[in-house]
């Protein structure tokens, strides 16, 4: 994942907030400006083939699904993000924001430091607490293995993205890194299944 971070960092430092890279025969533009990214993403409905590399972890849900799948789902999901629903989670966002602020404050004065792990943990805990109703304190105690497995999966996926020869499933699936990625992905799936099991029995998300 170091290569991915380096590319993002280079794009951020450029005046144009973008760089171009070649991955095999394909030309890619890496952008760091939010407005530019928003314009590009709104101009095309279909996802680029490289998104399929993330499918082993995320699946074929609304984020990376083809147009005929995600477009109808979007109309169903949009009401879920209405202010009257999102406002219910403000206290969660506030609590977790204070937690991550305290974590980052403890690193002040120690020179340069990476904050990816802190932000990553914050995002996952917030999602679990808002979507699944899992208490954040319980979440921290439940399984650090889940966080580590998800993080390792992302690293393998990022490494695969920047190596064009690994885009071919027949080649990638022969390598040890594929077996390790699959193992980490299974840990993530089992954890989510365990968290989701009570909701399946109740038929809804507990308050």
* pLDDT the model gives residue 186: 93
pTM of the model: 0.71
Rounded Cα distance, 84 and 89, in Å: 10
| Range with lowest mean pLDDT among 91-95, 103-107, 127-131, 154-158 | 127-131
* pLDDT the model gives residue 181: 94
* pLDDT the model gives residue 207: 45
Q: Are 62 and 70 in contact (CB under 8 A)?
A: yes
* pLDDT the model gives residue 111: 86
Q: Determine the Cα angle at 89 with ends 88 and 92, to 5°.
A: 140
């Amino acid at each position: 994942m170091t290569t991915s971070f380096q590319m993002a960092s280079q794009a951020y430092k450029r005046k144009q907030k973008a760089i171009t890279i070649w991955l095999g025969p394909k030309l890619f533009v890496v952008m760091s400006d939010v407005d530019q990214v928003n314009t590009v993403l709104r101009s095309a409905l279909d996802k680029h083939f490289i998104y399929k590399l993330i499918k082993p972890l995320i699946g074929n849900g609304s984020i990376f699904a083809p147009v005929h799948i995600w477009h109808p789902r979007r109309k169903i999901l949009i009401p879920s993000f209405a202010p009257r629903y999102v406002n219910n989670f403000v206290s969660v966002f506030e609590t977790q924001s204070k937690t991550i602020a305290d974590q980052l404050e403890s690193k002040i004065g120690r020179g340069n430091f990476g904050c990816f792990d802190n932000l990553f943990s914050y995002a996952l805990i917030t999602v679990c607490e808002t979507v699944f109703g899992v208490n954040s304190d319980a979440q921290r105690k439940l399984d650090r293995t889940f966080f580590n497995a998800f993080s390792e999966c992302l690293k393998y996926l990022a490494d695969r993205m920047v190596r064009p020869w690994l885009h071919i499933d027949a080649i990638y699936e022969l390598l040890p890194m594929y077996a390790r990625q699959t193992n980490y992905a299974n840990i993530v799936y089992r954890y989510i299944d365990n968290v989701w099991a009570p909701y399946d029995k109740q038929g809804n998300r507990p308050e």
